[in-house]
Amino acid sequence: MILVYISIILFIGYSVLIVYYWCAWRSIPEYIAAEPEPTIGLSVVIPARNEEKNIINCLESVCTQQYPYELLQIVAIDDSSTDRTWDLVQHFHCDEKLITSKRLAEVEDAGFSAHKKRAIEAGIAVSYNEVIVTTDADCKHPGTWLKTIASIYEEKRPVFIAAPVALENNSSVLQIFQALDFLVLQGITGASVHKKVHSMCNGANLAYEKRAFNAVGGFSGINSIASGDDILLMHKISRKYPGKVHYLKSKQAIVTSLPMQTWKEFLAQRIRWSSKARFYNDKRIFWVLLLVYLFNRSFLALVIAGFWVPILWLYAGILWIAKTIIEFPFVYSVARFFDKLFLLKYFFFFQPMHIAYTIVAGLLGQFGKYEWKGRTVR
């Protein structure tokens, strides 16, 4: 019964957290870009490694933005790709707009792991506009994307903007699961940033002032960590500029990214994300992650203990249902914003998969290693 009581206590804490996120998400006003033409210069930095299948679609969606050419700079940085990515970037033509491009040589040090940070720094170094926008090479962007970012920047003058990202999906179990799981992460991102309870974001859709990036020393201090070009930088900037980090809740600015194509790639991605958790300077997010991890571990404990006390399997099933009920209003609100309500019919059945990967990725992210973009990272 001690195990049951611990599970109930963790569930209560988890429920309070989810209800808080739900209320916070609903309180974020949905933003619509102002009509006047933007006046702010933007430099879009796109780090790319082995993205020959996606880089052209990404560049085309950036080139066709509803944004004045004279205010837009596109910077594509090839991170030592071993496929045709660099050749495609070099031969890509963007109408009237020239693309600033650079190829990085492979780092000889086998222990070096901050490749993406190095690529972004190289892109920012050749950027000449005051606002940096970062995205990934496997992303597509609506035509109103940059206009909306510029609009909220000119209106509110934040130094850092976290913006929404959604995953494309087909009808496969893997892609539906990823898209649904990603919705939850996006909802938590918006809620936490808006209420300033802790900081989260996704590097596929960020904007920040170049002077703020330089003021915090860029990625110095975190450039030995493979992941964290988004959240860890956000923490540095938010500490120096308290109250100047903003979440952009706008359908006009939703960037779509591609899901992982295999379960192995998916797990490696989540391990990579999890690996930066121990480096968070914002300890509030650490305690949130610990609560979520322990709550999910309680399911595993109940299932294992059930082999000796079978009634615990019943308690685990009840907890599964209770978890779904408490999460559903929050997930529904986020799915409605992203126009993905059709995913909710799978929500209850994916709970065991979500619990399992949370436990595995959370553990391996702190102690294991993974392969990413052809590189093995510890």
DSSP state, residue 151: H
- Candidates 3.40.50.1000, 3.90.550.10, 3.40.50.300, 3.40.50.720; correct CATH number of 30-175+194-259? 3.90.550.10
Cα dist. 181→8, 21, 122, 166, 269 in Å? Answer: 24, 15, 32, 10, 13
Whether the pLDDT of residue 366 is over 70: the answer is no
CA-CA-CA-CA torsion for 340, 344, 347, 350, nearest 10 degrees?
A: -50
More confident of the two residues 354 and 376: 354
Which of the four pLDDT bands, split at 50, 70 and 90, describes residue 200? confident
Return phi, psi of residue 348, to 5°. Answer: -60, -40
Percent residues over pLDDT 90 in the chain: 75
| Whole-number Å distance between alpha carbons of 7 and 299 | 8
Q: Helix, strand or coil for residue 207? A: strand
Give the DSSP H/E element, type plus range, for residue 257. Answer: strand 255-257
Token readout for 353 is 């998969």
Render the burial of 129-162: b for 16+ CB within 10 Å, e for the rest.
Answer: bebbbbbbbbbbbbebbbbbbbbbbeeeebbbbb
Which of the four pLDDT bands, split at 50, 70 and 90, describes residue 372? low
Around 97, how many Cα atoms within 13 Å sit in the side-chain half-sphere? 21
Q: What is the pLDDT of residue 1?
A: 80
Sign of CA dihedral 209, 29, 274, 281: positive
Task: Tell me what the pLDDT averaged over the chain comes to.
Answer: 91
Residue 162's beta-bridge partner residues?
Answer: 206, 247
Is residue 39 within 8 A of residue 70, CB to CB? The reply is no
Q: What is the pLDDT of residue 126?
A: 96
Which of the four pLDDT bands, split at 50, 70 and 90, describes residue 377? low
Give the DSSP H/E element, type plus range, for residue 46. Answer: strand 42-48
Instruction: Please write the tens of the pLDDT for every residue from 257-309.
Output: 999 999 988 988 888 777 766 667 667 788 888 899 999 999 999 999 999 99
Instruction: Please write the tens of the pLDDT for every residue from 88-138.
Output: 999 898 876 778 999 998 887 666 778 899 999 999 999 999 999 999 999
What's the average model confidence in pLDDT over 349-372?
81
Domain boundaries, the chain: 30-175+194-259
**For residue 204, which of 281, 249, 258 has the smallest C-alpha distance?**
258
Instruction: Please write the tens of the pLDDT for every residue from 137-167.
Output: 999 999 999 999 999 999 999 999 999 999 9
The residue with tokens 């904007």 is 207
Cβ count within 10 A of residue 114: 20
Q: What is the pLDDT of residue 369?
A: 64
Q: Which amino acid is at 57?
A: N
Is residue 89 within 8 A of residue 48, CB to CB? The reply is yes
